[in-house]
C-alpha cells in the first residue's frame, strides 16, 4: 500500500508537468478504458487537474500509512506487553 500509493500519487503529480515542459522526454501513453491519451494530446486544463489529484492522493496515502502504523503499534503493544492480571 505504501510503495504503490506514494509512487502513484507522485507520478500523477509530476508526470503531466514533465510531459508539458519537456516534450523530448520519453513519456508513455495513458490508457483509460481503452482510450489512449498520448502526452502531447493533453488539454491545458488537464495538467493542473491531474497534478492536483496526485497531490490530494498523496495526502490521503500518507494519512492511511499513519493509520496503518498506529494499528500496527496497537497490535504490537497488546501482543508484547504483559497486562496487570497476567501472573507467572
Per-residue tens of pLDDT for the chain, all 88 residues:
889 999 999 999 998 888 777 766 666 666 777 777 665 666 678 788 889 999 999 999 999 999 999 999 999 998 987 766 655 5
Residue 59: what pLDDT?
Answer: 96
Residue partners of 14: CB distance under 8 A and separation at least 6: 51, 54
Residue 55 burial class via C-beta count within 10 angstroms: exposed 0-12, middle 13-18, buried 19 and up: middle
| Closest among 68, 52, 75, 74 to 2, alpha carbons compared | 68
Q: Report which DSSP code applies to 30.
A: E
CA dihedral of residues 44, 31, 12, 22 (deg, nearest 10): -60
Residue 10: what pLDDT?
Answer: 94
| Closest among 45, 11, 9 to 27, alpha carbons compared | 11
Model pTM score: 0.68
Amino acid at each position: 500500500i505504501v510503495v504503490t500509493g506514494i509512487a502513484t500519487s507522485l507520478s500523477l503529480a509530476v508526470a503531466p508537468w514533465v510531459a508539458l515542459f519537456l516534450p523530448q522526454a520519453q513519456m508513455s501513453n495513458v490508457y483509460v478504458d481503452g482510450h489512449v491519451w498520448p502526452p502531447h494530446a493533453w488539454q491545458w486544463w488537464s495538467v493542473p487537474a491531474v497534478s492536483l489529484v496526485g497531490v490530494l492522493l498523496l495526502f490521503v496515502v500518507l494519512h492511511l500509512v499513519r493509520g496503518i502504523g498506529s494499528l500496527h503499534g496497537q497490535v504490537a503493544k497488546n501482543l508484547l506487553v504483559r497486562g496487570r492480571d497476567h501472573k507467572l
